[in-house]
Structures are given as structure tokens and as C-alpha cells.
């Protein structure tokens, strides 16, 4: 494998293409910008060719393509700058100083480089995008009984049926996971009786570990009896692996159904990284996201795509309806 990797690195065609890319990027362009082959290619990208005629490409499409070139340019120049450094060695101050010098010459705005020119193109196109405004993808009909997404008509009644069926499917899957014990146990889960704290209490802490919630008997004890009856073979003295695998598949299906139910019924939908990084208990240095507050399951997230820029995030609290909330509580109490 190492020999094959060395052969690919030493391939003459690869070396020639890499050298051409680096020469195109490391060329000072002040007046005749488009004498540079890379910048000449950006001009070609600005032309949209149809079947019968040619036209200028819209700013919304053009800036996206330029952004791809900028990303590739960064990657190629980083590979070129640090190509002589061994991966196993610590990067010394000389390498960092060399990188900073190369960054000023070829990767910084105002450096009279192709990279700087592409950055200016993106900024210029962004101005046109703001003037043009966005094209609506989601529109309400006048009756407010249906909406259209990319031309497809979605009646609100169909959405209501879909949302209700999601929680119903999740309940059925949970009943299978609990070996038919969910219906009687669901009467035990009274959310208003659950005591929970919104403060950080240490690793592993949650409402499931709160001493005042011991009446819920968290843990696997409630499922041990029916679980052994279905998953354990007394004659062989081993697990029934087919049934165990089926139970694990049901667990995966339930998690997916619970995720969709939370996303659908939890109010303002969150982004993927926001809703899929929910913590059910405190970690070593982070507060959990799931709480029981005033008889409702509350999800508090603190994710913002501009957090790295502004330094602060935005906390969003989402409250689940009782049916979905009890599903999440049961999952944390008796299955996790």
C-alpha cells in the first residue's frame, strides 16, 4: 500500500497538474487580470450556455462556483506550502513564518494574486445577490389550507396526518422495545410529578438520577423479566441472537422515529447539528439539553452558525407535547 501511495504521488501527470495549478495561483496580477489562466477560466464560468443561446450566469450561481475554486485554491496552496514537512514531525517556527509570508503573498485580500481577485469577485457577486433578493421556494395559497414547495402542493391536512402518524409509530415501536409493557408503564409517567433541576449537577446527572424521582424506578429492572423471557434461551443457556438482532433493529427505528417526532412537534425546527447533538445527561463540563419543566419536556439548545464570529450563541427552548415528551422520558429512564 505504501508503494502504491508513493507511485501515485510520483506520477508525472499528477506532478505536472499540481505544478500548473501552483503556477496559476502564484502569479502577480495587477492590471491584465485575465491573462492568468485561472482567472480566464472564471470568465468562462460566468457564461451560461443554453441550447440556443448564451447568457450571463446569475450571481446566485456564479458566486457558488467561485467559492468552490477558492476552496480548492486554499487546499492546493496549503499542500504546496507544507509539502516538504513530515506529518509525524512537529511544525517548527520556521515553517509557521514561511506559511505567514506565503499567506501574505498569495492568500490575502489585496495581494494582487488570483486568489485575491476571486475573493473580490465573490464580494461583488454578493452585492448583486442582495439587490436581487431570494427566490421564494415555499409559498402559501390564498386559502391558507395548502402550501407549495418547489411547485409541489402540500395540503395542511396531509401534514397534520403525517405528524400524527409519526408519534403513533414511535409509540408502537417503544411498546415493542418494552416487550408490550409500554401501555401500563405509560400511566406511571406523570410529567408534573417529575422533579428536575436546570443547573449543572455533575457528570451523568439528569432527572433520571434525581433522588426524588426514585418512584419511577429508572434503569433496566422493569424490563428484565419480559426481556429474559423473549431474548434468553434457558435450554441452551445463551441469548436468542435472531431476537436480539431484531430488538436492536427496533431500537434503531425507534430512535429515528423519536428524532423525527422531536423535530416535528418541538416548535421551531432546528438545524441538523442542533437537533442531533442533544445530551440527556450532564457531561464532564457541559450541561445537558433535556429537562422536565412544569410538566413538559424542554429541550434547550445553544447552537448558532455565527457563534464563532460573534462569540456568543443563542439559546432556544423547545417544549414537546405530552405524548412525545413521555416517549423521551421513558427512553431515558428505562432504555438508555
pLDDT tens-digit profile of 73-85? 999 999 998 876 6
Backbone angles phi, psi at 280, to 5 degrees: -85, -15
CA distance 20 to 37: 10
pLDDT digit string, tens, across residues 119-143: 999 999 888 888 877 677 889 999 9
b/e string for 33-72 if b means 16 or more Cβ within 10 A?
Answer: beebebbeebeeebeeeeeeeeeebebeebbeebeebbee
CB 64 within 8 A of CB 74: no
pLDDT recorded at residue 87: 62
DSSP secondary structure letter of residue 327: H
Backbone angles phi, psi at 241, to 5 degrees: -65, -35
**What share of the chain in percent tops pLDDT 90?**
51
pLDDT recorded at residue 273: 74
Helices in 137-240 by DSSP H: which ranges? Answer: 156-177, 182-186, 221-231
pLDDT recorded at residue 326: 95
Give the chain's residues under pLDDT 70. Answer: 1-10, 50-52, 84-90, 134, 303-311
pLDDT recorded at residue 56: 86
Sign, CA dihedral 93-94-98-104, equals positive
CA distance 97 to 183: 67
pTM for this entry: 0.63
Q: Which is nearest to 46 in space by CA: 25, 69, 18?
A: 69
Amino acid at each position: 500500500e505504501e508503494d502504491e501511495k508513493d507511485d501515485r504521488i510520483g506520477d508525472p501527470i499528477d506532478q505536472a497538474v499540481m505544478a500548473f495549478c501552483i503556477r496559476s495561483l502564484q502569479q502577480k496580477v495587477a492590471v491584465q487580470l485575465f491573462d492568468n489562466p485561472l482567472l480566464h477560466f472564471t470568465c468562462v464560468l460566468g457564461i451560461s450556455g443554453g441550447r440556443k443561446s448564451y447568457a450571463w450566469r446569475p450571481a446566485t450561481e456564479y458566486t457558488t462556483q467561485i467559492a468552490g475554486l477558492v476552496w480548492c485554491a486554499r487546499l492546493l496552496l496549503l499542500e504546496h506550502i507544507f509539502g516538504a514537512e513530515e506529518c509525524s514531525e512537529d511544525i517548527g517556527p520556521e515553517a509557521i513564518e514561511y506559511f505567514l509570508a506565503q499567506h501574505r503573498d498569495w492568500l490575502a485580500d489585496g495581494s494582487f494574486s488570483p486568489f485575491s481577485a476571486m475573493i473580490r469577485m465573490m464580494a461583488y457577486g454578493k452585492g448583486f445577490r442582495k439587490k436581487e433578493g431570494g427566490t421564494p421556494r415555499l409559498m402559501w395559497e390564498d386559502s391558507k389550507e395548502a402550501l407549495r414547495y418547489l411547485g409541489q402542493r402540500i395540503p395542511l391536512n396531509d401534514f397534520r396526518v403525517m405528524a400524527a402518524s409519526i408519534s403513533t409509530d414511535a409509540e408502537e415501536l417503544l411498546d415493542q422495545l418494552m416487550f408490550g409493557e409500554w401501555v401500563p408503564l405509560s400511566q406511571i409517567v406523570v410529567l408534573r410529578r417529575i422533579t428536575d433541576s436546570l443547573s449543572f449537577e455533575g457528570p451523568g446527572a439528569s432527572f433520571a438520577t434525581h433522588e426524588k424521582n426514585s418512584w419511577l424506578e429508572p434503569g433496566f429492572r422493569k424490563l428484565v423479566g419480559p426481556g429474559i423471557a423473549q431474548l434468553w434461551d434457558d435450554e441452551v443457556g445463551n441469548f436468542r441472537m435472531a431476537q436480539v438482532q431484531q430488538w436492536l433493529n427496533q431500537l434503531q427505528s425507534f430512535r429515528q422515529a423519536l428524532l423525527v417526532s422531536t423535530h416535528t412537534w418541538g416548535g421551531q425546527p432546528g438545524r441538523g447539528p442542533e437537533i442531533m447533538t442533544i445530551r440527556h445527561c450532564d457531561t464532564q463540563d457541559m450541561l445537558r439539553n433535556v429537562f422536565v419543566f412544569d410538566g413538559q419536556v424542554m429541550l434547550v439548545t445553544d447552537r448558532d452558525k455565527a457563534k464563532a464570529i460573534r462569540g456568543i450563541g443563542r439559546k432556544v427552548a423547545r417544549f414537546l407535547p405530552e405524548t412525545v415528551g413521555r416517549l423521551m422520558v421513558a427512553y431515558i429512564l428505562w432504555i438508555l
